[in-house]
Structure 1
Amino acid sequence: MTDTLDNPQVMSWDEWFAHDGLGLAARIKAGEITAEEVASQAARAINGVNSEISGVIEVFEDAVADSTVNGANPQGAFAGLPFLMKDLGPTVAGRLQEQGSFYLQGNRPQSDAFLTTRIKEAGLNIIGRTTTPEFGCCSSAENPAMYVTRNPWDTGFTSCGSSAGSSVMVGAGVLPLAHGTDGGGSIRIPAGCCGAIGLKSSRGTFSIAPVNSDFTSVVSTQGCISRTVRDTAAFVDNCRGGAPGEFMPFWHPEKPFLEQIKADPKPLKIAVSHEWGPYAATPHIAAELTRVAEFFESLGHHVEFVTPEVDFEKAYAAQTTCYISNFAQVVNNLLRMKGLETPPEDLFEPMNIRIWEQGKDISYTTRADMQLDFNTTARAFGAVYQDWDILLTPTTARETPAIGTTEYLTITETPSALDWFQNLWGFFAYTPLNNLCGTPGMSLPLAAHANGLPLGMQIHAAIGNDGLLLQLAAQVERAIDGKWNQGHLPKVHVTKLG
């Protein structure tokens, strides 16, 4: 990266961090700076922090030097703004996508996914790829043989995941927004752990074409991690929509989200909870939830603690069946690529092999029973939203793990995939059921753990009410004068670069 780092820096790091994505795009459109100058400064930022937090696998130097080389539309909403893609999900033509796996080293797709084309049309210049656990299947990008992504607030702790690298780069101020995927909380959880904003959109927002199955991949969605509500709104407005032939009824709001967030929502009825069946938040997290609930009340909303009438044990069991069977088929498809019958132990992480063994022969009847439980759970949450506009929970139920905590990782020696997932749900209790039901959830950096690490608070709404979440988040952002994380910055941050 010597060529790009030799270019002059166009603004101070304090000025850099003071801009969100649309703010930088406005300066590019006004001719004050070029997209290439912004990309060069982003590359400099990556170079300055990546050795400490290990969030970026590769920088595309040609895209830094020329903001249009990947096909970014200079007339798009983001005007050539540099952007990082998670190394999982939508493919980028000609660029490596290795999904955090030794098995996929050297995998270079030759075509763009449909969402990638939307990202480029929005004017986002893809300049690199970010870390993820193997196939996105675990809580953190933490395999010492591959890479260990660290939390910018304290590098002795994980970033969580699976959108790990994108979250640490946004958290450290490197870029205003970056790509993420969310199949059970993988945008919201690391955003919450790294002090960023993470929206999991309603089902039917973003394309999953062409690789993912219309019928089995609907629990997972795409999105971004950002520092401002308007950047998230602009990303959804400009990147949503289905590819020709996708079966879901892809929907669009009557008014763009960027317009909706300019006004505060009406006074809302907000239900607050953290005791979900077998899982509950720690006492400190529960206390932070109460504090944040009181803050929402101070904004004029009616706030009340409520326990949703949902069969949580059945819901989590169905979620486990979904994950085990879906991931087993992901592994099956990868094995077919190379004509293999079983996953090589030296190329696959241990828990992913156990998930494959557990799930590869699951019957259609088991899957049909799972779908019935999905249906029951979705209807139960639907009933909650008949009485309440918003559900407020923590994003996670336990403390952010220290680096080296293997119980949530796919490098663990835990013998049972079922036991492993049940333990995961104890940590990520409040995120996966949005994926099961298709409902939106948004993690906001409004709280902190006892040790000072960020703690996300999650607002949920009925399916299709993403605009209401964004409206409420924008109201909060205005109320705190944009000072998320109570105005604190992480130890590893661009404003601390020389």
Structure 2
Amino acid sequence: MFAQYDDYDALGLAELVKKGDVKSSELVEECIARIERVNPRLNCVVHPMYEQARAAQPSTGPFQGVPFLLKDLLQTVRGVPTSSGSRFFAGMPADRDSELYVRYRKAGLVAVAKTATPELGLLPVTETDLHGPTRNPWKLERTPGGSSGGSGSAVGAGIVPMAHGGDGGGSIRIPASCCGIFGLKPTRARTPTGPTASEGWSGFAIEHVLSRSVRDSAAALDATIGAEPYAPYHAPTVTRPFLEETTREPGRLRIGFHWEAAMLGDVHPDCIAAVKDAAKLLEELGHDVEEVRPQHDREHLTRSFFTVVSANTAAEIDEGARRLGKKARPADFETATWRGAQMGRSFDGATTLL
């Protein structure tokens, strides 16, 4: 065991491993012990990978020997099931490693387990018929958010300093906010999605990490940056490493803030207050801060978003049924998931694209 585990972020732990102050195996055992201790209350880990983690020979990358958790959605590990939070997909082992997981391994990370997600990553909370509710580490009766709620809960609880997540409509940022950690949704195609998928939600969804520190997030992006060669498009190149950006003086920035909902619905007063507090802090730091009001049709944006998501849900279920060789039935899915897929099947291609 390693008593100082909480004192370091992922880069800090990796530095200790490189200097020989601690072994990767000790960090892995500390992570496993923490899962076993807190997961009965949090329900954030849904598939242990303990034997693979104990047998791992970590690469000498920036995160050498650091324990890591994978969200149980999209990213695949050969021989390990990916349930996507769904009874329909439960127990289906992957036949290959995803490209992003390969890059995590090359960066030195050691995958110890997979974390909870709502069914097919569709909701901003993490509660499924398959696994039950995942809980917030700060207040057990609260949600950790979603869809990367299992990862957010695990990082917030100190199981790992950093965990994988994905974000199509807030699924990294919402759990980060709920669990008091850091979460960034990168630019589309900044990280790879293949080879088992081309793009998530027609490009809305992009994968990255939730972390205790900003620099871990930056270093993880440096380690995984770039779409795979067969990707349909690539993100613009960057001029310097993201980790370097975290230590550069930004100068006086012009910052706009907006506190109204982008889509239909109201914003809770506590959330509005948090945005305004952040704006005030930025102003006190010397930046030019002003409220902005983007002009857009909220109803049209809401309708368009759910058109794309529901059409992709239908396609994901149909493709999964084809791979599994079985028929998808309403009883195999949660009601909201099945209804969303049915709505998606009602659209033609032009409606989905436009």
Determine the structure 2 residue equivalent to 1:176: 161
The Cα shift of 1:214 comes to 4.7
Q: Which runs of 5+ in 1 are unaligned?
A: 1-8, 370-498
Q: Secondary structure at the match of 1:154?
A: coil
1:209-228 equivalences under 5 Å are 209-214=194-199, 217-228=202-213
The SS at the match of 2:332 is coil
Query: What is the CA-CA distance between 1:145 and the residue it aligns to?
Result: 5.2
Identify the match of residue 153 of structure 1 among 138, 147, 171.
138
Q: Is the 8 A contact 2:314 2:342 kept in 1?
A: yes
CA distance in 2, matches of 1:64, 1:335: 31
Between the aligned partners of 1:223 and 1:64, the Cα distance in structure 2 is 21
- 1:49 aligns to what SS in structure 2? helix
Q: 1:309 to 1:182 in 2, by over 3 A?
A: same
C-alpha separation between the residues in 1 aligned to 2:261 and 2:137? 30
What amino acid sits opposite 1:44 in the alignment? A
- Once the two structures are superposed, residues 225-248 of structure 1 have per-residue CA deviations (whole angstroms, 9 ceiling, x without a partner) of 001000000000001112222121
Give, in whole Å, the separation in 2 of the partners of 1:191 and 1:353: 28
Higher relative contact order (CA 8 A, sep 6+): 1
Aligned residues of 1:324 and 1:358 also touching (Cα < 8 A)? yes
Residue number in structure 2 paired with 1:307: 293
Partner of 1:254: 239
| Residue pair 2:82, 2:92 contacting (<8 A) in 1 also | yes
Q: Does 1:165 align with 2:150?
A: yes
Partner in structure 1 of residue 52 of structure 2? 63
Q: Corresponding residue for 2:175?
A: 190
Q: How far has the Cα of 1:299 moved from its partner?
A: 0.7
1:215 CA drift (Å)? 9.1
Q: Tell me: CA distance 1:256–1:109, structure 2 relative to 1, closer, same or farther (3 Å).
A: same
Secondary structure class of the residue paired with 2:302: helix
Is the deviation greater in 146-155 or in 226-235? 146-155
TM-score by length of 2: 0.95
The one of 296, 318, 324 aligned to 2:304: 318
Give the letter aligned to residue 308 of structure 1. P
Q: Contact (CA 8 Å) 1:77, 1:122: kept in 2 or not?
A: yes
**Mapped partners of 1:139, 1:254: distance in 2:** 34
Q: Cα 1:328–1:302, aligned 2, differ >3 Å: closer, same or farther? A: same
- Structure-2 change in CA distance of 1:215 and 1:236 (3 Å): closer
**Is the contact made by 1:93 and 1:111 (CA closer than 8 Å) also made in structure 2?**
yes
Q: Residues 214 and 225 (structure 1 numbering): CA distance in 2 closer, same or farther, change over 3 Å?
A: closer
Question: For residues 276 and 353 of structure 1, what CA distance do their matches in structure 2 show?
Answer: 27
Please say if 1:281 is aligned against 2:283: no
Q: Distance in 2 between matches of 1:357 and 1:194?
A: 33
CA contact (8 A) 2:167 2:205 kept: yes
Name the aligned partner's letter for residue 328 of structure 1: A
Secondary structure of the residue aligned to 1:123 is coil
Cα 1:156–1:216 shift into 2, 3 Å: closer
CA distance in structure 2 between the partners assigned to 1:261 and 1:21 by the alignment: 16
**Distance in 2 separating the partners of 1:288 and 1:365:** 40
Are 1:245 and 2:249 counterparts?
no
Give the counterpart letter for 1:229 in structure 2. Answer: V
**Deviations along 1:434-463, whole A, 9 cap, x unmatched?**
xxxxxxxxxxxxxxxxxxxxxxxxxxxxxx
Which residue of structure 1 lines up, in the alignment, with residue 93 of structure 2?
108
| Partner residue, 1:54 | 43
Residue-by-residue CA offset, 1:140-176 (whole Å, 9 max, x unaligned): 2213552210011111111111111110000011110
Partner of 1:30: 19
Find the residue that maps to 2:347 and give its secondary structure. coil
Give the SS at the match of 2:147: coil
Contact 2:307 2:352 in 1 (8 A): yes
Query: Residue 155 of structure 1 aligns to a residue in which SS?
Result: coil
Indicate which of 157, 168, 185 corresponds to 1:200.
185
| CA gap 1:361/1:280 in 2 versus in 1, 3 angstroms | closer
Confirm or deny: 8 A CA contact 1:118 1:240 kept in the other structure. Answer: no
Corresponding residue number in structure 2 for 1:337: 323
Residue 357 (structure 1) aligned to one of 333, 342, 347: 342
Preserved contact between residue 201 and residue 309 of structure 2 (Cα < 8 Å): no
TM-score by structure 1 length?
0.68
Contact 1:21–1:81 (8 Å) recurs in 2: yes
The aligned amino acid for 1:18 is D
- C-alpha deviation, 1:121, in angstroms: 0.8
CA contact (8 A) 1:274 1:280 kept: no
1:325-474 to structure 2, matched below 5 A, reads: 325-341=311-327, 343-369=328-354
> For residue 81 of structure 1, what is the aligned residue in structure 2?
66
Q: Deviations over 1:39-63 (max 9, x none)?
A: 1111111112111111011222223
- Separation in structure 2 between the aligned mates of residue 279 and residue 357 of structure 1, nearest angstrom: 24
CA contact (8 A) 2:87 2:129 kept: no
Q: Quote how far apart the aligned CAs of 1:189 are.
A: 0.6
Q: Give the direction of change, closer, same or farther, for the CA distance of 1:160–1:276 in structure 2 (3 Å limit).
A: closer
Q: Distance in 1 between matches of 2:199 and 2:138?
A: 38
Counterpart residue type for residue 339 of structure 2: R
Q: Secondary structure at the match of 1:108?
A: coil
Letter of the structure 1 residue corresponding to residue 267 of structure 2:
A
Aligned length: 353
The one-letter code matched in structure 1 to 2:226 is G
Deviation at 1:260, TM superposition (A): 1.3
> How far off its partner does 1:353 sit?
1.0
Structure-2 separation of matches of 1:321 and 1:167: 27
Percent identical among aligned pairs is 34
